[in-house]
Amino acid sequence: MSKEKIEFLYLSEPDMIEAGVLDMKECINVMEEVFTLMSDNDYLMGGPKGSSHGMKLWYPKEKRGRNMPVAGDDRRAMTMIAYVGGEYDVCGNKWYGSNVANRERGLPRSIHSITLNDPETGAPLAMCSGNLVSAMRTGAVPGLATRYLKSDSASVVGIIGAGVINRAALIAICESLGNVELVKIYNRTASKAEALCRELSEETGIRMTAVSSAEEAIRESDVISVATSGGTPVIIEDGWIKKGALINLVGTASLSEDMYINSRVVVDNWNMHLDWIDDGMRHPDGIESLMASAPAAPLMKLYLEKKKDNADIVSLGDIITRRAAGRQRSEETIIFIAGGIPAEDVAWAHTVYGRALEKGIGQKLLLWEKPHWA
């Protein structure tokens, strides 16, 4: 074992911004590389199958210890680990803490930190502020899905939820469509939708309008993005959805069983969702335990009921590598579901870390001059 000094780079949120974490065009391209590596099986995530979304603390419904938190809306504490191959060749972990009640304290709903490690030695390379990494990669993925799954005539976008994630998703979708004529944004708090319209219409030059209902946002939209948090999923009725629409789900939504059965379903990584099913089935509440937090939970339920099988569900990476077909008809309705893949966080954090090294950004911290015991 080496007895040499080990240092790692600490990157604050301002450091990450200076190093380019908000570069959506590049983030989409990195996500395309990651999905290609996943299709080529050059990646690993947690668990014996190498496909775990992450290890989560399941808070109890009732108080168990003097200070132990109890379950609440989008309350999560979890670790999401991955190895990404190809030119990245790096391990990493995203620590994820989330609680809707954070907003009452003036904090973001989720707080993330990311570590990057040498895959051979385990030595730390970097510790990064993770919120913008997570938001950008989460938004870039529906943008990437739009690149491959949109109809040729798509020009109208419907947005459900005006938070951080859909802000990033909207930027990515507009980047991928290139010819957006109108964006309609709905949020339960109307002022947030209005603020997002003002901000991004000025930034992009695209016409955007805040609407008063989810139905208004969805009707006549060619690409729809749902990214909401909390315990109550948005209800989307079949009759609202235009033929040929692409529905991007990065948050939970209530779609009819018929819509899932009769639509083409594409997911970010089906192996991960199968692993997630195993996690849910070990919970006392079964698959219902995932309904509030996993966008694919209704699909998982249909899979367990044998109403959808593996042949009906395609992973996006296999479409990118042409192992599976993308859109097959202009009037085909496609549901794309992204559950969040730690390999994406690791790859985007590693890309920004590389830029930081090139520009001399960040603070070097000492792990040890030499290990006390070796």
- Indicate whether 187 and 115 sit together in one domain: no
Average pLDDT, the chain: 94
Whether 124 is in a domain gets the answer: yes
Q: What is the pLDDT of residue 231?
A: 66
Residues 285 and 247 in one domain: yes
Q: Tell whether 146 is covered by a domain.
A: no
Q: Within a domain: residue 243?
A: yes
The pLDDT value recorded for residue 359 is 98
Q: Residue 303: name the closest of 325, 326, 331, 281 by CA.
A: 281
Is residue 120 located within the same domain as residue 216?
no
CA–centroid distance for 184 within its chain: 21
Task: Give the pTM.
Answer: 0.94
pLDDT tens digits, residue range 335-359? 999 999 999 999 999 999 999 999 9
Whether residues 180 and 242 fall in one domain: yes
Quote the pLDDT of residue 258. 96
In a shared domain, residues 86 and 197: no
Q: Answer yes or no: do 354 and 215 share one domain.
A: no
Residues 170 and 188 in one domain: yes
pLDDT tens, position by position, 77-117? 999 999 999 999 999 999 999 888 888 899 988 999 999 99
Average pLDDT of each block of 10 consecutive residues along the chain (374 residues)? 82 98 98 98 96 92 90 88 98 93 89 97 97 97 97 96 95 94 96 96 94 97 90 90 97 94 96 92 87 87 93 96 94 96 98 98 96 88
Q: How many CB atoms lie within 10 A of CB 324?
A: 14
Contact (Cβ atoms closer than 8 angstroms) between residue 249 and residue 337: yes
SS3 244: coil
Helix (H) or strand (E) holding 175: helix 164-177
Quick one: 164 and 177 in the same domain? yes
- The enclosing domain of 287 has a CATH number of 3.40.50.720
Q: Is residue 326 located within the same domain as residue 352?
A: no
Write out the E strands in the chain.
6-11, 43-45, 55-56, 76-84, 90-98, 110-117, 124-129, 156-160, 182-186, 208-210, 223-226, 234-235, 246-249, 253-254, 264-267, 313-315, 334-337, 363-368
Same domain, 168 and 76: no
User: Residue 298 sits in which domain range?
Assistant: 151-341
pLDDT digits (tens, 9 = 90+) for 197-213: 999 999 999 999 999 99
> What's the total number of domains in the chain?
2
Q: Is 233 domain-assigned?
A: yes
Residue 140: inside a domain: no
- Whether residue 373 lies inside any domain: the answer is no
Six-digit token pair at 285?
């509440």
CB 37 within 8 A of CB 86: yes
Residue 1 has a pLDDT of 42
What is the C-alpha to C-alpha distance for residues 58 and 27, in angstroms, rounded to an integer? 31
